[in-house]
Amino acid sequence: MREDAALPSDGITCITMRIHRTITITVLAALAAATTLAQTPFYLKDGDRVVFYGDSITDQRLYTTFTETYVVTRFPAMNVSFTHSGWGGDRVGGGGGGPIDLRLSRDVFPYKPTVVTIMLGMNDGGYRAFDQKIFDTFSSGYEHILDSLKANVPASRVTLIQPSPYDDATRAPLFEGGYNAVLLKFSDYLKTVAETRHLDLADLNNPVVAMLKKAAVADKEQASKILPDRVHPAAAGHLVMAAALLKAWHAPALVSDVAINVSDKTAQVKGAKITDIRSGGPVSWTSTEAALPLPIDTKDKLVDLAVKSSDVVEALDQELLRVSGLTAGKWELKIDGAAVASFSSDDLAKGVNLALLNTPMLRQALEVHGLTVKHNNIHFMAWRTIQTGLATDASPYTKQNAILALDQLDHELVAEQRAAAQPKQHHFELVPVN
C-alpha cells in the first residue's frame, strides 16, 4: 500500500506535516551543503606561484587574467604570482613553441610553480570525428606531461582543465555529433586521470555550453559572437571560463555583506568595516570593504549577455547591501557624492547587489584588471619577442639585458596592481527621492 493510500480523518493535517517535514529536510540539506562549502578554504594560498599552461585559448590571456584579477582583488593581502604560458596551436606534444619537453623546461619549470593548470585538447582532437588513434596520442602525451611535472616540480598542485567548448551550441555541428562531443570524450578521460592521480579538475566546457544555449534563446545572433570562430572565446566566454575555474578552486562568492538598521544606527557586517552611521533625513555611513567586485564591464554587450545567461554573479560577485527602517518610498544611493542608483525602501530592506553597478569599487576593480593585462603583456614581450623570438638573432648579452629590463617593468606593474587593489574608504548616502 502507498504511504498516502489511506488517510485518517485529519488527512489534511497529515499531508501538511509531511510537506513541512520535506521542506525541513530540504532546508537542512541545503544548509549542510552551504556549511561544507563555507568550510572549504580557497585553493590558492599565500606564497603560491601559479603557471597557466595551454594552447591558444590560454594564449589569449583572458580567462587567466580574469582569474588573476579575482585573486588580487578578493584577497588583496595575499601574495600569489601568476605566469601565463599558453602557446597557440599547442598539442600534448608541443607546437610552435617547440616540442613538449622544451616547452615545459623553458616555460613552466623555471618559475618553480606551486600550482599548474593545464588546458589542452582543442587542437589534439584534429577538428574531426572521434578517432581512437588520435585519442591514444592525446592520452599518452598527456601522461608524459604529468610525469614530467611530477619529476621536475613534485610539490606542485595540478589542476587539469577539461577543454573549453567548440561552439556547436549556437550553430549547427559540422558533422554528426559535432566536434564538442569529441572534446567531451577527452574531458571524460581527464576526469578519470584526475581521480587516478589524485589531481584537481575544472570543467570549462559544460558551463560555457550552458551559457551559450541560454544566451542563444535570448539573442542568437549575439550569442554566436561569444565564440566567433567557434574555438576562441571573446572576453564574455572567458569570464564564464574563469568563473568555472575559480569555482573549482572553491572561490568565495562574497565581496561584502552590509546590513544597516537605520532605527538604532547599528550594522551587521561581513567583509567590510562600517562607521559613522547617521540618520534623520538622508542616511549615511562610511564603509571600507575588504575586497572588490569582479571587473565586469556590462557596457560590453557580449559580456552583459554572458553574465545574464550564467551564474557568474550568483557564484562569485555578491556585494550585498541591506538597509532596514527607512521611510517608505524611493531612495537614491550616492557613493562619494556621486549618484549610483535609486531603490525602493522595500528593495533596500530585502537587499540589493551593488557588484554590477557603476560604483567606485567596480571602477577600482577595472583599474586593477587593466594593470593585470599590462603586466602580462610585458611578460609576453620578454618571453615571446625576446627570449624565444630572438633565440638565434641577437647576442645572449643583449637578450639578457632586454629581458631583465622587461622583468623589472613587469615587477613594477605587479606592485602597482597590488597597491591599486588595496581597500579604500567610501562615503555612502541614501537620499529620499521626492
**Is pLDDT at 25 greater than 80 in this prediction?**
no
- pLDDT bracket for residue 15 (50, 70, 90): very low
**Residue 343: CB partners within 8 Å, gap ≥ 6?**
330, 331, 333, 352
> Quick one: average pLDDT of 199-222?
98
Helices (H), 153-234: 179-197, 206-223
pLDDT tens by residue, 345-383: 999 999 999 999 999 999 999 999 999 999 999 999 999
83 within 8 A of 50, measured Cβ to Cβ:
yes
> What letter does residue 110 receive in the DSSP assignment?
G
Outline which parts of the chain fall under CATH 3.40.50.1110.
49-251
**Is pLDDT at 172 greater than 50 in this prediction?**
yes
Phi, psi of 326 (to 5 degrees): -80, 150
Class assignment of domain 49-251?
Answer: alpha beta
225 within 8 A of 234, measured Cβ to Cβ:
yes
- pLDDT bracket for residue 28 (50, 70, 90): very low
Please classify residue 12 by burial: count the beta carbons closer than 10 Å to its beta carbon, then call 0-12 exposed, 13-18 middle and 19+ buried: exposed
Q: Which of 57, 151, 147, 53 is nearest to 106 (CA)?
A: 53
- pLDDT bracket for residue 39 (50, 70, 90): low
Q: Count of H helices and E strands in the chain?
A: 13, 16
Q: Taking the CB of residue 11, how many other CB atoms lie within 10 A of it?
A: 11
Determine the Cα–Cα distance for residues 421 and 364; give it in Å rounded to an integer: 7
**Which residue has 623570438 as its cell numbers?**
389
- pLDDT bracket for residue 311 (50, 70, 90): very high
- pLDDT bracket for residue 221 (50, 70, 90): very high
Please tell me the predicted confidence (pLDDT) of residue 180: 98
Determine the Cα–Cα distance for residues 76 and 398; give it in Å rounded to an integer: 36
- 53-69 as b/e: b if 16+ CB within 10 A: bbbbbbbbbbbbbbbbb
**Is pLDDT at 2 greater than 50 in this prediction?**
no
Please tell me the predicted confidence (pLDDT) of residue 1: 32
- pLDDT bracket for residue 22 (50, 70, 90): very low
**Is pLDDT at 434 greater than 80 in this prediction?**
no
> Quick one: average pLDDT of 304-321?
98
Window from 19-23, 36-40, 326-330, 363-367 with minimum mean pLDDT: 19-23
Please tell me the predicted confidence (pLDDT) of residue 365: 98
- pLDDT bracket for residue 127 (50, 70, 90): very high
Greatest C-alpha distance within the chain: 96
- pLDDT bracket for residue 269 (50, 70, 90): very high
pLDDT tens by residue, 93-124: 999 999 999 999 999 999 999 999 999 999 99
| E strands, 279-388, in order | 283-289, 318-324, 330-335, 338-344, 352-353
426 within 8 A of 322, measured Cβ to Cβ:
no
Mean pLDDT rounded to a whole number for the chain? 92
Determine the Cα–Cα distance for residues 303 and 238; give it in Å rounded to an integer: 9
Global pTM reads 0.90
Please tell me the predicted confidence (pLDDT) of residue 7: 34
Please tell me the predicted confidence (pLDDT) of residue 393: 82
> What letter does residue 111 receive in the DSSP assignment?
G
Please tell me the predicted confidence (pLDDT) of residue 293: 98
Please tell me the predicted confidence (pLDDT) of residue 398: 85
